[in-house]
């Protein structure tokens, strides 16, 4: 047992590892420039505790977050970490996904310019880039609702009931979910890239080349299998983690 873990009596090794991995995500998101001050949230369900999840202590900048500063919550909005604070809108979105999807162990939500830009267009993503082919079969569009309400929580569950783990929140931003933390990060990276290229294509003054339907179909088959594996996005996540580590901040505390 690590010295850091010993400071948190009653915490399982699985929870501490989830805390370290999720804290790394915040520093990776910060490195990629996908932050929105203290807003937007990344969360992870605690292994072995399906009704509990971790989320950022509201008020901390992403580059300040550590494993121990993450807040433990239940699906009813109760804070289980002494002194922890949460954002109501963030809780609504993340708890809504976890309640709707038992396969979701990590939920990531951003307000990037590219993601928010595509969210302004009805079904804005088109099969025009290799990046979009990674998520083509997995994109869901969710209509904008009143933030931090039960109605919005219920509506998000309806949008996700038939599957899909890459969500364009209309007039809002992006959200991804995965059965692993690194898998959710990889989905978000590919969805963000697809959005960036979509916006670029709309400024070129000519219609983009649409990928052949046969190629689209083969890509869907391949990516469905790939995303289902435990190793999807793992190598990329480890690489991003090392990049964040080189900045010198120890979030494993």
Range name among 27-31, 153-157, 222-226 with the lowest pLDDT average:
153-157
Q: Which helix (H) or strand (E) holds 29?
A: helix 13-32
Q: What is the mean pLDDT of residues 122-148?
A: 94
- 3 within domain boundaries: no
Residues ≥6 apart with Cβ < 8 Å to 107: 42, 43, 44, 93, 94, 97, 98, 175, 176, 177, 184
CATH code at position 60: 3.40.225.10
CA 92 – CA 113 distance, rounded (Å)? 22
13-31 pLDDT, tens per residue?
999 999 999 999 999 999 9
pLDDT-based confidence at 123, cuts 50/70/90? confident
pLDDT-based confidence at 9, cuts 50/70/90? low
Mean of pLDDT over the chain: 94
Q: At what angle do helices 88-100 and 150-160 cross, to 10 degrees?
A: 40
Buried-state track 144-182, b at ≥16 Cβ within 10 A, e below 16: ebeeeeeebbebbeebbeeebbbbbbbebbbbbbbbbbb
160-193 pLDDT, tens per residue?
999 999 999 999 999 999 999 999 999 999 999 9
What six digits make up the tokens of 242?
A: 């090392």
Instruction: Count the alpha carbons within 13 Å of 87 in the hemisphere toward its beta carbon.
Output: 17
Q: What is the mean pLDDT of residues 66-91?
A: 93
pLDDT confidence of residue 218: 98
- Sign of the alpha-carbon torsion through 214, 201, 35, 169: negative
Enclosing domain of residue 166: 12-244
pLDDT confidence of residue 6: 43
DSSP, res 152? H
- 253 within domain boundaries: no
pLDDT confidence of residue 1: 40
- Of 160, 161, 133, the closest CA to residue 224 belongs to 133
36-61 pLDDT, tens per residue?
999 999 999 999 999 999 999 999 99
- 191 within domain boundaries: yes
- 4 within domain boundaries: no
pLDDT confidence of residue 26: 98
- 2 within domain boundaries: no
- 1 within domain boundaries: no
pLDDT confidence of residue 147: 87
Number of domains the chain is built from: 1
- 249 within domain boundaries: no
Q: What is the mean pLDDT of residues 211-232?
A: 98
- 137 within domain boundaries: yes
């Amino acid at each position: 047992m690590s010295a850091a873990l010993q400071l948190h009596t009653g915490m399982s090794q699985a929870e501490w590892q989830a805390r370290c991995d999720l804290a790394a995500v915040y520093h990776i998101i910060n490195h990629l420039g996908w932050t929105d001050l203290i807003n937007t949230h990344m969360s992870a369900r605690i292994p072995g505790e399906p009704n509990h999840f971790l989320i950022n202590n509201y008020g901390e900048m992403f580059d300040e977050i550590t494993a121990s500063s993450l807040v433990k919550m239940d699906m009813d909005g109760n804070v289980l970490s002494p002194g922890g604070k949460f954002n109501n809108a963030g809780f609504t979105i993340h708890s809504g996904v976890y309640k709707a999807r038992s396969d979701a162990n990590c939920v990531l939500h951003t307000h990037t310019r590219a993601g928010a830009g595509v969210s302004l267009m009805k079904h804005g993503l088109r099969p025009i880039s290799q990046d979009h082919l990674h998520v083509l079969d997995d994109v869901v569009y969710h209509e904008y609702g009143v933030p931090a309400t039960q109605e919005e929580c219920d509506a998000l569950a309806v949008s996700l009931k038939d599957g899909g783990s890459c969500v364009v929140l209309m007039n809002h931003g992006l959200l991804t979910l995965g059965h692993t933390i690194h898998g959710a990060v990889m989905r978000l990276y590919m969805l963000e890239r697809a959005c960036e290229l979509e916006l670029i294509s709309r400024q070129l003054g000519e219609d983009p080349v649409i990928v052949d339907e046969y190629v689209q179909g083969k890509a869907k088959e391949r990516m469905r299998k790939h995303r289902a594996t435990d190793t999807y996005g793992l190598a990329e996540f480890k690489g991003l983690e090392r990049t964040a580590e080189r900045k010198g901040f120890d979030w494993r505390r």
